[in-house]
Structure 1
């Protein structure tokens, strides 16, 4: 089966932009003309590809087609670079990464490699429990995830464990945990979470104090630097990776609340079995770097 490139571009643009109107503007088409292209593709395949919601979403069949189209586009970019007057043209690679990995070890590990290989990153940032869905949906070509099981057509490699510590400021501990962090004080003390998908603090509270999710007052601060700063300022306690604690500017005011009870999160690198040469080299570099940065085993 051969696909019309204009119809495929229309599908990708609608899903990436989230609406027919935005996609039509990007492609210099009317929304009606764009809709006709996608409808023609749906008729060819005999199935609906787009859920016309706000934002637009791909159906399961649309997700499978998007997976294929993104892989083909990335390999075509890579191939064209090999024939471009000896100089590699930039290749854009879409990846999904959890924020803590990005802010601690991923960028320093990959920076020189990305410059040398002339790779442009198109990053999606999400919780490690949710990045895998972006690969399934055809939005990215690889992801760092807490999901150990590879989906069909993909491979998953263990990267190691990211260790988190529960920390708070001296002033916060004096106010809320004068006798140490105990069940009743933990129930009343404000906790910081990255966003509503972040379950690390809930996992810690359930395992060590038997407190259910949402048992405590909480802040939601979905940006790494402000999140860490909010803890240092005494707004609440929260989980910070040991990698970040080591690299943060000296914070004599921060206290590990339970250093003997860290939370270890296993991370995996998921990518397609069939990759372009540059994506294969990026995968190898990322896996190698992770195994130097992360812990090989959990506590």
Structure 2
């Protein structure tokens, strides 16, 4: 293993955390580093350019993302070896957390180049801190697979995980992902949905997975934004394989508290893939 070098002739690779929403969350140290490095390697130069402009920082920007990391890394490493310091930033939050940069940092370490973290905002830690679920042991699983069959297989491998689970999810898949979690983990597993953290429409909701799935699809605006999903670990008392069969009925029960029968049936059909006519009949029975 390589220890961090201390030679003053080498540049430093700074991994700089930037805000996940509220610009006031950036640290004084981060602003100082961004203002004095030779270049800022940014996932999206336009996005980072707006951040720098807000704080009146003018430094050269270089695009650095998953599609060009392999090509750009040798040049950045050469600049570090020549004594230039570089800041690595992602679009939001802490670099390398579901973002590019791992190969660059690893190679810098192997070459004995200094790599220094400039800590700050991180969406997964922010969500965990307010989730109301156990925080002593947790695992971060990133984004779930996009295809339903692959997502369900992936979740099957996590069904018995005892630690708190943290996922990221996109706005156009959050409803389907929650239903698959219900089907695999069980209707009564507790979870917290954190949406648009630190932003104007920040929402943090603790409920069962069924409750969250029903709540999300009840209004279209609830499916918009950036999501972190924190799910309780497996419990010996839970039996997901049996609870899953109750999910459509439970989802209908939750939605019928706020919506007409036809709309509730349509939304549950969208989540589960079950026939809308059957769900409509079931909803009528529950209503009466």
Instruction: Give the TM-score normalised by the residue count of structure 2.
Output: 0.26
TM-score under structure 1 length normalisation? 0.26
